[in-house]
Amino acid sequence: MKFENNLEFAKQLDAHDELNKYRNEFIFPQINNKDVIYFTGNSLGLQPKTAKKYVDEVMNDWANLAVEGHFYADKPWWDYHERFCQPLSEIVGAKPTEVGVMNTLTVNLHLLMVSFYNPTPNKFKIICEEKAFPSDQYMFQSQVKSRGFEPKDAIVEIKRREGEHNIRIEDILSKIEEIGDELALVLIGGVNYYTGQVFDMKTITEAGHKVGAYVGWDLAHAAGNIELELNKWGVDFAAWCSYKYMNSGPGNVSGYFVHEKHHEDKDLNRFAGWYGHNKERRFLMEPNFDAVHGANGWQVSNLPILSMAPYLASVDMFAEIGMKKIVKKRNLITSYLEFILHEIDAELEEAEFEILTPANQEERGCQLSVYLHGQGKELFHYLMKNGVVTDWREPNVIRLAPVPLYTSFEDMYNFGQILKKGILSK
């Protein structure tokens, strides 16, 4: 498609967008009495209008039924999490028995590492990416220390080549082969939070397995953003937060995946808890743990129903739409945003943008990380004051995430006009 940087063209794209109606299903903050242009769904998604309804259902059941809500609510609390299995399996490319919902992201990764990081004196190293999200870095450090290893010896970061913004797949594969028999675990963010680079999870998973390592993925920036095939790729485990592209609310519950090949493995360690115990016998209060079959056997605590309710509202919307339609719009709207940035860069002498995110659609989701050469944080503040909600990463990068469910092509055009004014106002 040949793009045009004008309002009429943007409106035509919106008129032909089959997801455009879902924009009205979300609540937008307002600045200057107008809905904001919201680019931070990669940090916290907007609130679906249905979220309050789902939460109110739980509140009403709590008020009217109290403890009996566990069994007699319209959506009984004792198996509330099971409502996520089918729709989440479709979002991440899994079987319903392979997915679950509990805790928060880093907690779930810690719990999964109990099962899938079992170092020995000769096989103890973990491969991750350079500039992994800090929470992952802290997790790695604490995990290896708890197993009696030094982080500098056990943690191997794949670095970017000098002068490059993204990590090359060949460098990951060669490092996996180089470490070989010493490698216990590969655990990488499926989409890098800073650059928006999408990693070739299928190829990396195969390479890790070839040397006898487990392979897991932090899908915080991937779930609800890119197409995933966790079961087909043979991924051992994965976890993701629900509050970014999946719009469940601040700090809300995490989804997780455990491949079916591990469900019957009695030798895997796990930290057990009441809600992972045999569902049919849970209330018999037996002393010995008998895991529920499937990923739900990794459950630990009683369910945070009030946290799950808004997530279920969003998941139901995803189930109605399907990931293929979301990805189709994502590719088009992200390309249109990229086009507008290049147009402004060419038009204004004062503008010099460098997009860190790969240009190849197979290597990115809906985030574009843009290096604003010659611009300072005052441009970020100008955008925010004029209704563009984005975020700033040092030294001078803004991350722009045009989430397909609630951003429009007209938003992209209007953002370009505001950006131009901000640059010229210096």
Per-residue pLDDT of 33-42, as tens digits, reads 999 999 999 9
CATH number for the domain harbouring residue 131: 3.40.640.10
User: Which among 303, 321, 339 is the end of a domain?
Assistant: 321
Q: What per-residue confidence (pLDDT) applies to 280?
A: 87
Q: What per-residue confidence (pLDDT) applies to 246?
A: 97
Q: Is 1 part of any domain?
A: no
Report how far apart, in Å, the C-alpha atoms of 257 and of each of 91, 292, 353 are.
12, 15, 38
Domain shared by 146 and 256, yes or no = yes
Per-residue pLDDT of 218-256, as tens digits, reads 999 999 999 999 999 999 999 999 999 999 999 999 999
Domain shared by 309 and 384, yes or no = no
Domain shared by 123 and 264, yes or no = yes
Q: What is the mean pLDDT of residues 87-113?
A: 97
Domain shared by 294 and 337, yes or no = no
Q: Is 206 part of any domain?
A: yes
Gyration radius (Cα) of the chain, Å: 23
**pLDDT for 283 beyond 90:** no
Q: What per-residue confidence (pLDDT) applies to 394?
A: 85
Q: What per-residue confidence (pLDDT) applies to 133?
A: 87
pLDDT above 70 covers what percent of the chain? 100
**pLDDT for 57 beyond 80:** yes
State the total domains in the chain: 2
Confidence band (pLDDT; 50, 70, 90) for 380? very high
Q: Is 2 part of any domain?
A: no
Q: What per-residue confidence (pLDDT) applies to 52?
A: 97
Q: What is the mean pLDDT of residues 267-296?
A: 90
Domain shared by 288 and 170, yes or no = yes
Residue pointed to by tokens 């002068």 = 163
User: Which among 321, 354, 384 is the end of a domain?
Assistant: 321
Domain shared by 226 and 142, yes or no = yes
Q: What per-residue confidence (pLDDT) applies to 1?
A: 87
Domain shared by 173 and 107, yes or no = yes
Per-residue pLDDT of 181-194, as tens digits, reads 999 999 999 999 99
Q: What per-residue confidence (pLDDT) applies to 320?
A: 97
Mean per-residue pLDDT over the chain, rounded: 96
Domain shared by 304 and 346, yes or no = no
Q: Is 17 part of any domain?
A: yes
Q: What is the mean pLDDT of residues 112-122?
A: 97
User: Which among 321, 337, 360 is the end of a domain?
Assistant: 321
Domain shared by 236 and 266, yes or no = yes
CATH number for the domain harbouring residue 327: 3.90.1150.10
* C-beta of residue 412 within 8 angstroms of C-beta of residue 333: yes
Q: What per-residue confidence (pLDDT) applies to 350?
A: 83
**pLDDT for 353 beyond 80:** yes
Q: What per-residue confidence (pLDDT) applies to 123?
A: 98
Q: What per-residue confidence (pLDDT) applies to 279?
A: 86
Domain shared by 63 and 42, yes or no = no
Per-residue pLDDT of 257-281, as tens digits, reads 999 999 999 889 999 998 999 988 8
**pLDDT for 122 beyond 90:** yes
Domain shared by 234 and 372, yes or no = no
Domain shared by 292 and 331, yes or no = no
> Residue 347 sits in which domain range?
7-48+322-424
